[in-house]
């Protein structure tokens, strides 16, 4: 090989190597990296005083980082007199100020969980670097916790403003003085603040428009106006974010699938609870609904079997739709689209659940089974659906098969089914009929349902003393129980699966049957709530007594 060719090959290999190293991408191969990166050190150090106003900030990380994530993750308060520049290599970040910082000011740099390593792991919690260009650091601090699922703690922001007399929706459109996030346990702390009043609230801005819209998660302490105090006067601020209900549904589509079979799509997930009181209106006339079902492949769609056909281009809308936050909503109107020709419609696998809507039945629940289809159907024979007890030599269980709607039937056993057993169900589709199905049905569908053994269940006793009635909720895996707790009266929750639970309570002061996180005015209060301070372990065949719940 000639020297010129060798030189060209060497240059080409070098360029490929440089290009490969210069592109940010996830590392491939090896075990999955799920470890959060962390900061090794910084200059100036945290809590440094008498820092030179012409300082440069340097932060060193524990591993290689995605440089493109720093711009959105870095915040500096109060805002420096001039702009600043971010420069980074793989494992460090350098921040250079275009103008000297103000003298005798405490500055707070936060690096939130948007800062990610090459595997996409964000920081475990917001990193705070405080330093002062004077002799002292500010002594005020705000601490508290966010209660709710991991998604709420990971996706939302806590926003702090110096203004505290402005409606929150107007305030949200302005740049916040401080933005920070809770850690994975929901705890948050913002130290080194000037001791004064602020406005504090949580917002998961799901459409990223910097407005507190319907369908966003929003929460704040009982009063949005808070005071940053020194450590000796610390107050813990509790926030329980909730989904803000839509004022009105938006219809995305209303079309005909077959004669008197309609699909409606909306801008809200459809649950089984949403189908209970749902009404369809066409040309100001209520259309009776014979059956309704959710759609497996589209959580925003519902299939309705209507008693009357709907004319093409008729104005349609929905009434009494129960959304995921428990509110009953009506929709806007949309022109209905009739199908010029029908596509072939086929049955999907039937869904069989206990009447409670779960795959497992607890002793306190009915033994009835609910059979749901994606299309209207009829059982032509009682032998179309059968159930056997897997523990009793597959003896068929007698019962009554009865129609609940055109898309749902119920099987009621003649006797209460035993606890702690598995039951096999089977459907012979040749004994079924559907007017909108264009193929003969001739197949077997089967599945399994289980009942929980009463010996695996325990109970929980709760007592509190106070002046108001508490609306309580206990949550565990596939278990959610709501109950009311009056002062001085113990509540015994029986037949709970042996597992861990969380317990929460609030005072329903406005009587709407749900927790209210407050209006958008700083003075408008959120309803008070409490969270039991630790996980509650319920043991099988055992009564767990919490004693007297002392509300903080």
**d(Cα 118, Cα 35) in Å, to the nearest integer?**
11
Residue spans of alpha helices (H) in 133-186: 150-155, 168-172
| pLDDT for 26 beyond 60 | no
Q: What is the 3-state secondary structure (H, E, C) of 306-375?
A: ECCCCCCCCEEEEECEECCCCCEECECCEECECCCCCCCECCCCCEEEECCCCCEECCCCCCCEEEECCC
* CATH topology (fold) of 39-243: Immunoglobulin-like (2.60.40)
- CB 484, CB 524: distance < 8 Å: no
pLDDT in tens, 168-210: 999 999 989 888 888 888 999 888 999 999 999 999 999 899 9
Q: What is the pLDDT of residue 352?
A: 96
Residues of the chain with CATH 2.60.40.3710: 39-243
pLDDT of residue 10: 55
Burial category of 367 from C-beta neighbours within 10 Å (exposed 0-12, middle 13-18, buried 19 and up): buried
Confidence of residue 523 (pLDDT cuts 50, 70, 90): confident
251-335: which CATH topology?
Immunoglobulin-like (2.60.40)
Top pLDDT among 269 and 33 is at 269
Q: How confident is the model at residue 7 (pLDDT cuts 50, 70, 90)?
A: low
Q: Is 80 exceeded by the pLDDT of residue 18?
A: no
Closest by CA to 293, choosing from 270, 309, 315, is: 270
The CA distance from 417 to 414, in Å, is 9
pLDDT in tens, 194-205: 999 999 999 999
Mean pLDDT of 446-454: 93
| Segment 92-138, tens digit of pLDDT | 999 999 999 999 999 999 888 889 999 889 888 888 899 999 999 99
What are the Cα distances from residue 163, in Å, to 6, 193, 199, 409?
68, 14, 6, 58
Span 351-452 CATH architecture: Sandwich (2.60)
Residue 520 half-sphere exposure toward CB, CA atoms < 13 A: 15
CATH 2.60.40.1220 positions along the chain are 251-335, 351-452
Question: Is the dihedral angle over the CA atoms 417, 421, 427, 428 positive or is it negative?
Answer: negative
For residue 27, pLDDT beyond 60 = no
Pairwise CA distance, residues 316 & 334, whole Å: 6
Strands (E), 421-542: 422-428, 432-433, 444-451, 457-464, 470-476, 479-485, 491-497, 500-506, 529-531, 536-537
Q: Give the CA distances from residue 499 to residues 356, 375, 422, 473, 535, in Å, rounded to whole numbers and listed in that order.
A: 20, 38, 21, 16, 10
CATH code given to domain 456-549: 2.60.40
- Residue pair 531/147 in contact (Cβ under 8 Å)? The answer is yes
pLDDT at 247: 86
C-alpha–C-alpha distance, residues 444 and 349, integer Å: 10
- Spatial neighbors of 51 by CB under 8 A, at least 6 apart, are 44, 101, 131, 132, 133
Look up residue 151 and give its two tokens.
């998604």
How far apart are the C-alpha atoms of 155 and 504, rounded to whole Å? 22
Q: What is the pTM of this model?
A: 0.77
């Amino acid at each position: 090989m000639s020297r010129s060719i060798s030189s060209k090959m060497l240059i080409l290999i070098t360029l490929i190597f440089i290009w490969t190293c210069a592109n940010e991408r996830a590392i491939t191969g090896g075990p999955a990296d799920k470890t959060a990166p962390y900061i090794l050190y910084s200059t100036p150090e945290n809590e440094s005083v008498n820092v030179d106003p012409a300082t440069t900030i340097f932060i060193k990380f524990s591993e290689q980082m995605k440089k493109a994530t720093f711009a959105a993750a870095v915040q500096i308060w109060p805002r420096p007199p001039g702009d600043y520049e971010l420069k980074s290599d793989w494992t460090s970040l350098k921040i250079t100020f275009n103008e000297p910082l103000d003298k005798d000011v405490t500055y707070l740099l936060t690096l939130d969980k948007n800062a990610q390593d090459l595997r996409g792991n964000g920081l475990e919690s917001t990193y705070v670097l405080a330093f002062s260009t004077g002799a002292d650091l500010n002594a005020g601090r705000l601490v508290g916790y966010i209660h709710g699922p991991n998604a709420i703690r990971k996706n939302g922001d806590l926003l702090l403003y110096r203004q505290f007399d402005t409606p929150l929706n107007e305030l949200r459109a302005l740049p916040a003085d401080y933005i920070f996030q809770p850690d994975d346990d929901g705890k948050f702390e913002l130290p080194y603040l000037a001791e004064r009043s602020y406005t504090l609230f949580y917002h998961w801005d799901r459409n990223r428009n910097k407005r507190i819209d319907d369908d966003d998660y929003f929460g704040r302490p009982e009063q949005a106006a808070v005071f940053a105090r020194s450590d000796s006067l610390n107050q813990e601020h509790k926030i329980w974010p909730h989904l803000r209900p839509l004022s009105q549904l938006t219809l995305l589509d209303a079309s005909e699938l077959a004669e008197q079979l309609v699909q409606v799509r909306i801008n809200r997930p459809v649950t089984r609870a949403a189908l209970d009181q749902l009404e369809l209106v066409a040309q100001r006339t209520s259309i009776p609904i014979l059956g309704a079902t959710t759609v497996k492949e589209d959580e925003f769609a519902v299939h309705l079997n209507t008693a009357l056909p709907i004319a093409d281009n008729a104005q349609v809308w929905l009434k009494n739709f129960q959304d995921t936050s428990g509110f009953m909503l009506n929709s806007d109107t949309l022109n209905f689209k009739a199908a010029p020709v029908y596509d072939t419609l086929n049955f999907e696998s039937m869904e069989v659940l206990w009447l409670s809507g779960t795959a497992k039945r607890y002793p306190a629940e009915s033994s009835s089974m609910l059979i749901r289809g994606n299309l209207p159907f009829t059982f032509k024979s009682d032998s179309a659906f059968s159930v056997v007890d897997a523990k009793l030599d597959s003896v068929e269980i007698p019962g009554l098969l009865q129609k609940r709607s055109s898309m749902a039937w119920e099987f009621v056993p003649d006797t209460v089914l035993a606890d702690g057993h598995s039951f096999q169900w089977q459907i012979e589709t040749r004994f079924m009929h559907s007017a909108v199905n264009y193929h003969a049905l001739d197949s077997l569908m089967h599945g399994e349902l289980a009942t929980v053994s009463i010996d695996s269940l325990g109970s929980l006793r709760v007592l509190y003393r106070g002046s108001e009635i508490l609306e309580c909720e206990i949550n565990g895996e596939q278990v959610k129980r709501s109950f009311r707790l009056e002062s001085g009266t113990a509540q015994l929750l029986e037949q709970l699966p042996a597992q861990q639970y969380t317990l929460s309570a609030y005072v329903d002061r406005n009587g709407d049957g749900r927790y209210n996180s407050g209006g958008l005015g700083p003075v408008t209060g959120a309803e008070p709530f409490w969270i039991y301070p630790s996980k509650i372990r319920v043991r099988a065949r055992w009564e767990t007594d919490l004693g007297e719940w002392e509300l903080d």
